[in-house]
């Protein structure tokens, strides 16, 4: 085994454990993400597999295949995060509005 393989596998396992411990996500998410991590470890141990898979799909090298998949994965994550942030922004606006209008009601009761 090459040193780089050891480093990558240790890193992946570390990230995977942090993910599973810290985030209370849905069970289906946990299975999906764990599957991705395990797939990553398999590809690190057997780099030729990505090459074969890539040729099957009509891409020259395995590294290119991973690259394309990574770009799409990040694009997906950005969209999901954008939607979540938008939702939080709306919630924040609602909270700020309700809080500001509560003072209006107090005012009325006093008067």
> Whose Cβ is closer to other proteins: residue 7's or residue 101's?
101
Binders of other proteins in range 40-59 (CB under 8 A): none
Question: What value, to the nearest 5°, has the Cα angle with vertex 30 and ends 6 and 68?
Answer: 60
Find the binder of other proteins among 104, 109, 110, 111 (CB under 8 A): 104
Question: Judged by CB under 8 A, does residue 92 bind other proteins?
Answer: yes
Q: Please state the closest distance from residue 100 (CB atom) to other proteins, in A.
A: 5
Rounded to whole angstroms, how far apart are CA atoms 91 and 68?
35
Residue 105 C-beta-side C-alpha neighbours within 13 Å: 6
Question: What value, to the nearest 5°, has the Cα angle with vertex 78 and ends 36 and 34?
Answer: 15
> Whose Cβ is closer to other proteins: residue 47's or residue 75's?
75
Q: Please state the closest distance from residue 75 (CB atom) to other proteins, in A.
A: 15
Question: Judged by CB under 8 A, does residue 97 bind other proteins?
Answer: yes
The answer to whether the beta carbons of residues 53 and 65 sit under 8 Å apart is yes
| 33-39: long-range pairs with CB below 8 Å, 24+ | 37/12, 37/13
Question: Judged by CB under 8 A, does residue 93 bind other proteins?
Answer: yes
Contacting residues toward other proteins, per CB under 8 A:
86, 89-90, 92-93, 96-97, 99-101, 103-105, 107
């Amino acid at each position: 085994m090459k040193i780089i393989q050891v480093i990558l596998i240790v890193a992946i396992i570390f990230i995977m454990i942090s993910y599973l411990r810290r985030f209370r996500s849905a069970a289906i998410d946990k299975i999906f993400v764990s599957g991705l991590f395990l797939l990553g470890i398999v590809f690190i141990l057997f780099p030729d597999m990505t090459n074969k898979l890539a040729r099957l799909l009509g891409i020259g090298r395995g590294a290119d295949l991973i690259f394309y998949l990574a770009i799409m994965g990040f694009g997906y994550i950005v969209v999901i995060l954008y939607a979540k942030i938008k939702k939080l922004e709306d919630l924040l606006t609602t909270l700020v509005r309700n809080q500001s209008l509560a003072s209006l009601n107090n005012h009325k009761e006093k008067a």
